[in-house]
Amino acid sequence: MRFFTQVLALALLANCTAQTGAYQAPQFGAAPPGAPDGTCWGRLETPAVIETVTEQVLAQPAVLGADGQLVRPASYRTETRQNIVKERSQRWFETPCPVQMTPEFVESVQRALAVRGLYDGPVSGQMDARTQAAVRQLQQAKGLDSGMLSLETARALGLVAVPRKG
């Protein structure tokens, strides 16, 4: 008989503190290898998903007498192992730099999110928990589960210019 238990780790998001409500600006200088100078980055870390499997394995089979009567019942031992179901991952994404994250810019973010029906709070200019939750909701649709505003999202909202192609 097998007993399966899955232990799922909660995704921890580096540089994103939507749970605490405090906005942490991207750390200037923290960037993936090869990132252009003067750019700012956020990092999304997803821990590994580990499955713990516990099995009852036959150690000794039952022993029957010549008359078919049970002399000794079967014995089992418990074996437990862990399997990595999904490897740990790390994803970097470009963000507006702290100098760009002015109260006026954040107000524009809040208004753009409100127009899209994602934000219903006050236009305060503060990157608070409610604003981060709206950013996360918008970005999740594109596969980025973070409340930290990505540069791609800021461009899609029309708040940051799209660079011209050479």
Residue 46 in contact with residue 84, Cβ under 8 Å?
no
Residues 91-140 have pLDDT tens digits of: 999 999 999 999 999 999 999 999 999 999 999 999 999 999 999 999 99
Cα torsion 30, 35, 41, 46: sign: negative
Residue 150 in contact with residue 160, Cβ under 8 Å?
no
Select from 102, 109, 139, 137 the least CA-distant residue to 123: 109
CA triple 122-144-146, angle to 5 deg? 45
Dist CA 105 CA 96 (whole Å): 10
Q: What share of the chain has pLDDT > 70, as a percent?
A: 82
Residue 122 in contact with residue 109, Cβ under 8 Å?
no
C-alpha 124: how far from chain center: 27
Residue 4, beta-bridge partner list: 53
Residue 9 in contact with residue 143, Cβ under 8 Å?
no
| pTM above threshold 0.85 | no
Amino acid at 136: R
Dist CA 122 CA 65 (whole Å): 82
What residue segments make up the domains of the chain, in order of their start? 2-48+88-156
Residues 39-59 have pLDDT tens digits of: 999 998 889 999 999 999 999
